[in-house]
Homo-oligomer: A and B are copies of this chain.
Amino acid sequence: MLIQHLPLLSKKHIVLASASPRRAELLQGLGLKATIVPSTFAENLEISSFPCPGDYAVATAKEKALEVSLHSHNGGLADLVIGADTVVELDGRVLEKPSDAEDAFRMLSNLSGRQHKVYTGVSLVLPKVRDSVVGRQPFVRAFWEETKVEFAMLESEAIRAYIASGEPMDKAGAYGIQGIGGSFVKGVQGCYFNVMGFPVHRFSEEVNSLITAGYLNHAFDV
C-alpha cells in the first residue's frame, strides 16, 4: 500500500498533468501533495488505431504526462508526473465529453437502463529516471483499469433536468458519478474511483511497486 510511504512521498515533487478537480481531490484524499499543471495535449489520437478503449486512454494519459514533463519547467523538475484519461464505452463505441446539450441527451439516453464500461488510463512519468531501453526518454509506467457501471432507467425529464444542472458537460459519457449522476447508478463492478477518473487502488499498488524497485527512493535532490 501507499500509506506507509507517505513520509517518503511528501519529500517528492509530484505533478498532476490534469485539470480535473476530481483527480486532484482523489490524490489529496490519499495524502499526496501534487502541483497541478494541466497538459495542453490536444487529445487527438485516433481511437480506431487502438485494440481497446483502455489502450487509447493510456496512450492519451501518456501524451499528457510526457508533454508536461518534457516542456513545462515545473514538470521537468518533478520526481513524478501523473497523467490520466477516462473514456466510457457502450456497444463498442467510445463516449468522450459531450459536444453540446443534444449530444449529452443522446449519450444519457443510450446509457439508460444498461451496463457500460469506464476505462481510465494512467501514466506515471519519472522525468529524472531515464528509460533503460529508450535511453533518452524518461521512464514511464502506464496501466489502465476497467469498471462496469449499471445505469438505472432514466426518464426523459430526469435527463433534461440533469443536463440543465450543467454537470454532464465536462465529463466522459455525460455524467459524473460523484455528483447528481451518482443517483443514476444502480451499482458498479470494480474500482469506483476509476469511474470518477482515477483508479486509486491500482495507482497505489503501482507507486508502491516503483518504490520497492528503487525508482522513487532517493530524497528530493534538486
Q: Which of B4, B147, B188, B200 contacts A182, CB < 8 Å?
A: B200
Interface positions of A from 175 to 206, Cβ below 8 Å from B = 177-180, 182-193, 200-201, 203-205
A211 at interface by CB-CB < 8 Å: no
Is A3 interfacial (CB 8 A cutoff)?
yes
Q: Which chain A residues in 29-61 approach chain B with CB under 8 Å?
A: 29-31
Does A1 lie within 8 Å of B158, measured CB to CB? yes
Interchain CA distance A160-B205 in the complex, whole Å: 18
Interface 9-residue window, one of A66-74, A96-104, A149-157: A149-157
* Inter-chain contact B185/A188, CB cutoff 8 Å: no
CB pair B183–A204 under 8 Å, yes or no, is: yes
B31 in contact with A180 (CB, 8 Å): yes
Contact partner of A1 (CB less than 8 A), chosen from B183, B188, B189, is B183
CA distance A155 to B185 in the complex (A): 33
Question: Are A179 and B29 in contact, CB atoms less than 8 angstroms apart?
Answer: yes
Once the chains are docked, how many angstroms separate the CA of A160 from the CA of B180?
Answer: 36
- B1 near A152 (CB under 8 angstroms)? yes
Cβ proximity bits A1-29 to B, threshold 8 Å, 1 near / 0 not: 11110100000000000000000001001
Please judge, given known A-B contacts A29-B178, A154-B1, A191-B186, whether A161 and B200 are in contact too, CB under 8 Å.
no
Complex-state Cα separation, A189 to B190, whole angstroms: 7
Binding site for B on A (CB under 8 A): 1-4, 6, 26, 29-31, 147, 152, 154-155, 157-158, 160-162, 165, 177-180, 182-193, 200-201, 203-205
Closest 10 CB pairs of A and B: A1-B158, A192-B192, A183-B204, A4-B157, A3-B161, A187-B190, A4-B161, A182-B200, A4-B158, A183-B200
